[in-house]
Each structure stands twice: as structure tokens, then as C-alpha cells.
Chains A and B, each alone.
Chain A
Amino acid sequence: MKLDVQGLTVSFRIPGATVRAVTDASFQVRPGRCLALVGESGCGKSVLAHALLGLLPGNAEVSGSAVLDGELDLVAAAPAVLAKKVRGRRVGLIPQSPATHLTPVRTARAQLEEASRELGSAQRADELAERFGLRAGDLDRYPHELSGGMAQRVANAIALAGDPGLLLADEPTSGLDRPLVDTSMAVLRELCDEGRAVLLITHDLRAAERVADDIAVMYASRLVEIGPAADVLNRPRHPYAAGLVDAQPDRAFTPIPGMPPELTRLPGGCAFAPRCGRASAACASVPPLRGAACHHPLWEDPRAASA
């Protein structure tokens, strides 16, 4: 299943201000490929995922398109279509916090069976559970009795019950320890290798590195760099992407100076310019995204150079 997002823009009207959460995002997720969308908390990446699922609150204004398989625009689709035909069946959500995603007063089995029944799954709860590394006995537990890793597996099983072709994983690793991060990334990779398209949303560059074919870096509501994972991680072109890569504990471990702007008060031009050592007068205009959205990239576009 292919997802083609063009010019996706999401804003929220709140008293006295407008939150610009996603601005002009364009990207594609292809079958068998995993795109990781990375950025810090509050940059708009979760809103982007929710826009694709039609799960935004009522005060959201959405424009642009997100076309699934060349025929269904998720932005324009009616809520009933999203509820009955899309969520769970064509687009699955692997949630941010499995422990709070699950209903606390029902067992894992009851919830998995419900998902399986509602989505008309051919697989029984036990089969789904086994596929995700859960024992049948684990299913009879309540969410608070599950460890973080087990809750994650239950959430994965529920997300996959309707056999969706596109998976959205919204911070699936937050709160997991490193071996479990690696494991859940390996599971995600497997799902991807089965031919599903995966959009992974994460703040964890190392998790992204383990699974992603491509990485998109988001900053202050815009995609600032997108490209093959190895290029973005080893030869980032946008100064923000470079700063994020460098801040990792196995690299320079130095923070990017300053803080990101408020989404209610985004500056005109490049939003990173106030924190950027390479900024110049040119940065007063928004740079177009050509691999990197930057007037002064650290590297010239390798594709442009070879062309």
C-alpha cells in the first residue's frame, strides 16, 4: 500500500492564537519501505500521524492531500469512511504508550478478540498473540499486569488484526529498554519486509537507524531534510539534522543551542535560523525542500552533483 502525501498542512485555532503543527509536508511511503519521521517533542510529528488517521480534534484545519493507493484521499475522506474502511483495515496504528492505549478494566484477550471480531480478522486472538511473542496465558492479564514490552506486543497484535497495508507507529519505543527497542524495531522491519508500508514516528535516532530505509527530519512543523537513512545519519545536510545527529551520546553529545520556536509564533523564513551558525540574510525566506530545506546546506545535494 502506497501513501502519497502532498502539501499536508494542519493548524489548530486556540483562543488568541493559531498553532501551526504541520506545514506543507510532502513525502511518500511505499510498500516494503519504512520511513522514519524524527524530531523533538512538540515539533508536530504526532499531529501529522493523527491527520493521516482522521483523528484530529474538531478545531483542526487540514489542507493538502494524503492519497492511499492512488484512490483514497485520507484528508478529504468522510469520518464514516475512515472509521469503517480505513482505520484498522487499511491503516493500522501502533500507539505511543501501549499501557495507556489499552483499556485498563478489560483483559488483553477481551481487547484483542474485540479488534479481531470487529475487523473481521481470519486469525484468532491466540494466533495473533503467538505471532507477536505472547503466550496464551499472558492474554488473560489486565493491562497493569503486563510489562511494557508485553503491552507493546498486545498493541501490535491489535494493530495487525485487520491486516492493514500501511502501519503508523507513533513513538512505539518510548519507555522501552534498549533491547526491547531493538526487538520492536526488528518486528517493525519484519512487518515492512512482508510488504507493508511503515511510517515510524520517533524522537529516537538510534531506533530509526535500525529499521528505516528513509529518514525525514521535522523541525517546527516543517520537514527540513528527507533522504536515505544512511545519508541523513552520516552526512546530514540540514544544520538542524546535523545538530540532532551530533547530540547523540555516541557522537559529540553536545546540545543544539537555544530552543525551538513556539508553533503559535513561528518566525517567517527558516524557523531554524535563530539557532543556526550558518544563517544569513537569505534565511529570511523559507527554503524549499530539495533533500534539505536549507539555503546553506552542509553538503551539496549528491544527486544534483551527479546529474
Chain B
Amino acid sequence: MLRAHEITVRYGRRTVLDRLSLTVEPGAVLGLGGPSGCGKSTLARVLAMMLKPSAGTLTVEGRQVRRWRQRAPRDLRTRVALLYQQPRLAVDPRLTLREIIAEPPAAAGRVDEAKTAALAEEVGLTADLLTRRPHEVSDGQLQRACLARALTLEPGYLICDEMTTMLDASTQALLVSVVNAYRNRTGAGVLAISHDRVLLDRWADARTDLDQLGFDRPAEPVHPAQLAQR
């Protein structure tokens, strides 16, 4: 399992996550909700080893993570894949979609054309799209490529951080079905982060809210109720 234990993250003096614990089980989809700005994406980055927490421990299948970001051991780092909300900010604009999908194995010098083609097909990208660069495709098509890229190294855990927030209902349903099929095939654990309760209720096996995890709210919480009263 992927286990975060009493994770604390501070940006300067501001505590964004306060001793937060969370476990992603293999084979299950855990839904994580909470209002925008509450630290969901910060937690996602810690779980993917992209951000070193100020305190707390992260263990991947029993192994504690002691080095972070690019210094994390490769075999640990590739066990967890992260999908972002905005695919455009998550890709190199110079690469074609095919190169984007093949980026993780290419970085290790193991390009596998057949695997890239199979993944592209799984996410519904046709051959003519694979030769395009990001500015030539829609957000939905680019996010399909990002999902394929995330699955290339067969991660044991997939963190989907608002993966479908910018996308239409049909593309959302497709991406979720691809993630679920991958989970069923490989037994991977999924953390589905979204502020959309209706989506999490449909998608996740269990759902929790970040503000119910012993979390201290940041300096500037949003007050939708206040505005609604006006």
C-alpha cells in the first residue's frame, strides 16, 4: 500500500498540511474531496515524491521514502504516477503526443513502440493524433496522452489530481473507465482527488474529505456560504 503518515507541509510560515495520514490500498479507488485551496494537490505531490514534506513519513509497499524528487530511487518513484488537472502545463510543448506517451521509458533508454501504440489505443488516441504536438490537440486529447504516459511504466499507484475537471462529461467518463480498467487489470491503487462529490460517489470505493483528516485549514479559506447570502 501507499501510506502517508502524519505528513506536515509548510510553505514558509504557512502550514498547508498538518499531520495528515492517508492510505491508498492496492486495487481500490479512494476518493479525496475538499474545497479548493485546502491542500489536496500538495498532498498529491507528496504522495508522488515530488515534494518533500516538512515532517511525516511516506512508505511505498513498506519501503520508506527518504529521498525526494529526482533523488528518489527510480524503482520507488516509478511505482507512483501522478496525473494533473491541466495537461498543458504537464507536457513538453516540443514533443509529439507519441513522444509524450513514450517519455518515461525513453528516459530509461527502453523505448517500446508496441507498448506506446497499445496505450494510445486504450485511451482512444488515433494514429493521426500521435504525430501532433500539444498546441495542435484539444485539452481532452492531451489529457488522454497524459493518462497513457502515466500508465506506461505500470505504476502500482495512480494519483489523479482533478484529472477531469477541465473536461467535458464524455471525456471524463472515458478517462475514468480507462483508469478503472487499468486498476482491474493490474490491481493498482488509485487516489481520485476531486472537489466533485457526484463524481467521487460514482467512481470511488470510499471517499474522504481532506478537512476531515486532522487538517488545519490554510490562512485563506474560501467562504462560498458568505457569497451565497448576498
Chain A positions within 8 Å of B, measured between CB atoms, are 39-42, 131-133, 147-150, 153, 174-180, 182-183, 186-187, 203, 205-206, 243-245, 247-250, 253-256, 258-259
> Is A174 a contact of B169 with CB atoms below 8 Å?
no
Q: Is the CB of B139 within 8 A of A42?
A: yes
Instruction: Please state if B140 and A250 are interface contacts (CB–CB under 8 Å).
Output: no
Question: Within 8 Å CB of B222, what residues of A?
Answer: 147-150, 180
Check A149/B36 contact, CB under 8 A, given A41-B138, A42-B138.
yes
A82 to B174, CA, bound (A): 41
A148/B202 in contact, CB under 8 A: no
Chain A to chain B contacts (Cβ below 8 Å), 22 pairs: A40-B138, A40-B167, A40-B171, A147-B220, A147-B222, A153-B227, A174-B165, A175-B36, A175-B166, A177-B36, A177-B196, A178-B196, A179-B35, A180-B35, A203-B166, A243-B170, A245-B169, A247-B170, A249-B199, A250-B198, A253-B176, A254-B177
Question: A148-B36, A178-B196, A186-B228 known; 7 other A-B pairs, CB under 8 Å?
Answer: A41-B171, A147-B220, A175-B165, A182-B224, A248-B169, A255-B171, A255-B173
Chain B residues close to A by CB (< 8 Å): 34-37, 85, 124, 126, 137-141, 165-174, 176-177, 195-199, 201-203, 220, 222-224, 226-228, 230
Collect the chain A residues with CB atoms within 8 Å of residue B36's CB: 147-149, 175-177, 180
Q: Is the CB of B170 within 8 A of A255?
A: yes
Cross-chain pair count, CB within 8 angstroms: 116
* Contact, CB under 8 Å: B166 / A187: no
A247 x B138 contact (CB < 8 A): no
Q: A253 near B195 (CB under 8 angstroms)?
A: no
Residues of chain A within 8 A (CB-CB) of B173 are 247-249, 253-255
Q: Considering the chains assembled together, what is the distance between the CA atoms of A149 and B222 in angstroms?
A: 7
Expressed in whole angstroms, the minimum distance between the Cβ of B11 and any Cβ of chain A is 12
Known: A178-B197, A180-B224, A254-B173. Contact between A259 and B202, CB under 8 A? no
Binding site secondary structure of chain A: loop
Say how far A133's CB is from chain B's closest CB, in angstroms: 4
Q: Are A259 and B165 in contact (CB under 8 A)?
A: no
**Which residues in B have their C-beta under 8 angstroms from that of A178?**
195-198
Which B residues lie within 8 Å of A245 (CB)?
Answer: 169
Contact A244 B168 (CB under 8 A): yes
- CB of A203 within 8 A of CB of B168, answer yes
Tell whether, in the assembled complex, residue B138 and residue A206 are in contact, meaning their CB atoms are under 8 Å apart. no
B34 partner residues in chain A, CB cutoff 8 A: 177
* CB-CB under 8 A for A179 and B224, given A41-B140, A148-B36, A205-B169: yes
CB distance from A151 to the nearest CB of B (A): 11
CA of A175 to CA of B124, assembled, Å: 25
Min Cβ gap B89→A in Å is: 11
Of A132, A180, A244, most buried by chain B (CB within 10 Å of CB) is: A180
- Chain A residue with minimal CB distance to B143? A41
CA distance A147 to B201 in the complex (A): 26
Nearest CB of A to B211, in Å? 12
How far is B166's CA from A259's CA once the two chains are assembled, in angstroms? 17
Kindly provide the distance from the CB of A116 to the nearest chain B CB, expressed in whole angstroms. Answer: 20
- Which residues from A are CB-within-8-Å of B171? 40-41, 255
Which 4 pairs show the lowest CB-CB distances between chains A and B? A177-B195, A42-B138, A40-B168, A255-B174
A41 and B196 contact, CB distance less than 8 A: no
In the assembled complex, the Cα of A250 lies from the Cα of B201 at a distance in Å of 9
